[in-house]
Every structure is written in C-alpha cells, then in structure tokens.
C-alpha cells in the first residue's frame, strides 16, 4: 500500500521516551528518507514535494540576507525555492547532515548565481560579461606567477584578448546594482520617486562600466549637471538654481545628455 506524507508516522530518536512532535524540518528529513526507500516514482515526487513545503522558510531566510541589493525580494525567494527543489532531489540520507544543512548551501548558490546573471543595474555587452568571467582564476594564477598583481596588458596577453576589453571587463563591477530604488531616501520618499523618467535612465547608465570613458564626450557644464544630479542627488529645480535656468530647461538638458551618452555607448551597452 502506498505511503502518504500525512499517514507516515515519524519515530522519535532512539534513547528518548515519550511522544515527541517533530518540527517541520525533522518531518522533512523523515519524508526524504521514505522517498529514498520507495521505488514508486509518483510516491517519491509526492514525498519530496511535501518535504519542500515543510522547508519553505529556508529560501526566505536566504533571500533576507540579500535584501536591498537591487533585486526584488520576491524574485529572490522564487530563485531560492528553485534551489530548495534541487536540494530535495539531490539529498541522500546518510550524508552526515540534516536536509536543512544540505539545502542551505544549494539555495544560497542558486541565489548567488541569479545575482551574477541578473544583478546588473544595466547589463553591459555580453562580451564584457564573458571576459569578466575569465579574469578571476587566470588573474589569481598570474599574480602567483609574477608575485604581484598583473597589469591589464599582461592579463590581455595571457588570455589572448585586447587590453581594452580587459580594462572594461574589470570595470563591469560598477555596473552591478547594490541599492534598490524601493529603499527610502533621506527625504522620506523612495529613491525611485525622486528620479524623473529620463534621468532615471541616465542614473542606470552611469553604472555601465564603459560610460566612464564616454563621459569625456560631455562639456564641462553637462558633466556638472551629471554630478549634481547623480552624485549630489540634487533635484532638477535645485540644479536649475545653480545654473540659473528653469527646471524645464534642466529636464531638456538631461534628455540631451541621455541621447549623447546612448550614442557614445551604443544601444547594446544601454539595453536593460
């Protein structure tokens, strides 16, 4: 007769007397042990599903660690649940640890992978992402060989790349989002509330690594506007006071700056 999660008793550990009501995590361990002993595929899936439902707090715990880093909390929970399902499928009794101990690294790894793949405020060109992924281990090996940090030119030679690609790839870290626009600012509103549509696009673009060189295309006045808006976080009205122009003129200037930066970076570099 097929065992079901609800009808399966969980025995108390040996050496302890009396009725013990196991917690959800202990019940999940027991269910996964039953799944390993079953030859019925449908039963195995049902037991694993029940174990996942009993441990849904684990993805929540992991997601909370990364709150406020630019990716929606609910999205992180969903990614964490994917890791939880993978852990339930990969867990084997007798590994020397509970399911929770086994699952937490799997869930964390899934969330970290999501950050690596999706955590860009504005996604740099795929080529730069690929180069950046190559740099880690090779840079460490070259550092050990040279007994010092390698230059970009040396890294480029070692990888068979153009030195400019290596420089831009190293700067890709600045394209990574570390703050959520939903976080409250010092004025009590959200960061998103204080950013106009066109200037919000520029704010995102400022996180693109290669934008640093493109900023040199702007005039001194335009660079001042960028600094006031995105470094000093001044409003368009405040910038207008500094420049002696109206808020509408500042808005038009920001729109013009956006167009020039987009032209300098190319559509691929500014695509979200």
Same domain, 113 and 66: yes
Residue 41 lies in a domain: yes
Q: Cα angle at 244 between 243 and 248, to 5 degrees?
A: 90
- Confidence (pTM): 0.42
Look at residues 157, 174, 191 and tell me which one is the last residue of a structural domain: 174
Secondary structure element (H or E) that encloses residue 28, with its range: helix 24-37
Sequence-distant (6+) residues with CB within 8 A of 259 are none
The answer to whether residues 73 and 67 touch, using CB atoms and an 8 Å cutoff, is: yes
Helix axes 247-265, 236-243, angle to 10 degrees: 100
Q: Are 83 and 106 in contact (CB under 8 A)?
A: yes
Q: Give the domain extent around 137.
A: 126-174
The neighbour count for residue 189, using CB atoms within 10 Å, is 10
C-alpha dihedral sign at 193, 196, 198, 202: negative
Q: Is 31 in the same domain as 111?
A: yes
Written as one string, the DSSP assignment of 86-134 is HHHHH--TTSSS-HHHHHHHHHHHHHHHHHHHH-BSSPPPHHHHHHHHH
Digits of tens for pLDDT over the chain (272 positions)? 444 444 444 444 444 444 567 799 999 999 999 998 899 989 999 999 999 999 999 999 999 888 766 677 888 888 889 889 989 988 886 666 789 999 999 999 888 888 776 655 445 566 666 777 777 667 778 888 888 878 777 888 888 887 777 777 765 544 454 444 344 444 444 444 443 333 444 444 444 445 556 676 778 788 778 877 766 667 788 888 778 888 889 888 988 887 777 776 654 444 33
Residues 131 and 206 in one domain: no
103 domain residue, yes or no: yes
């Amino acid at each position: 007769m097929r065992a079901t999660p609800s009808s399966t008793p969980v025995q108390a550990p040996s050496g302890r007397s009396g009725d013990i009501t196991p917690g959800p995590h202990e019940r999940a361990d027991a269910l996964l042990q039953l799944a390993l002993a079953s030859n019925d595929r449908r039963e195995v899936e049902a037991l694993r599903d029940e174990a996942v439902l009993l441990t849904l707090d684990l993805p929540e715990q992991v997601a909370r660690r990364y709150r406020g880093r630019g990716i929606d909390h609910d999205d992180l929970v969903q990614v964490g649940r994917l890791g939880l399902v993978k852990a339930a499928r990969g867990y084997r009794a007798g590994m020397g640890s509970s399911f929770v101990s086994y699952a937490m690294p799997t869930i964390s790894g899934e969330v970290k992978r999501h950050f690596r793949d999706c955590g860009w405020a504005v996604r740099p060109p795929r080529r730069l992402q690929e180069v950046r992924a190559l740099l880690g281990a090779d840079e460490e090996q070259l550092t050990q060989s040279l007994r010092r940090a390698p230059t970009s030119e040396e890294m480029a030679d070692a990888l068979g790349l153009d030195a400019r690609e290596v420089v831009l790839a190293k700067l890709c870290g600045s394209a990574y989002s570390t703050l959520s626009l939903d976080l409250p600012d010092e004025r009590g509103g959200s960061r998103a509330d204080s950013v106009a549509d066109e200037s919000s696009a520029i704010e995102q673009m400022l996180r693109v690594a290669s934008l640093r060189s493109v900023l040199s295309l702007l005039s001194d006045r335009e660079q001042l506007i960028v600094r006031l808006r995105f470094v000093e976080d001044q409003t368009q009205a405040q910038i207008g006071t500094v420049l002696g122009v109206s808020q509408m003129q500042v808005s038009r200037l920001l729109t013009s700056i956006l167009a020039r930066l987009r032209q300098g970076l190319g559509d691929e570099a500014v695509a979200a």
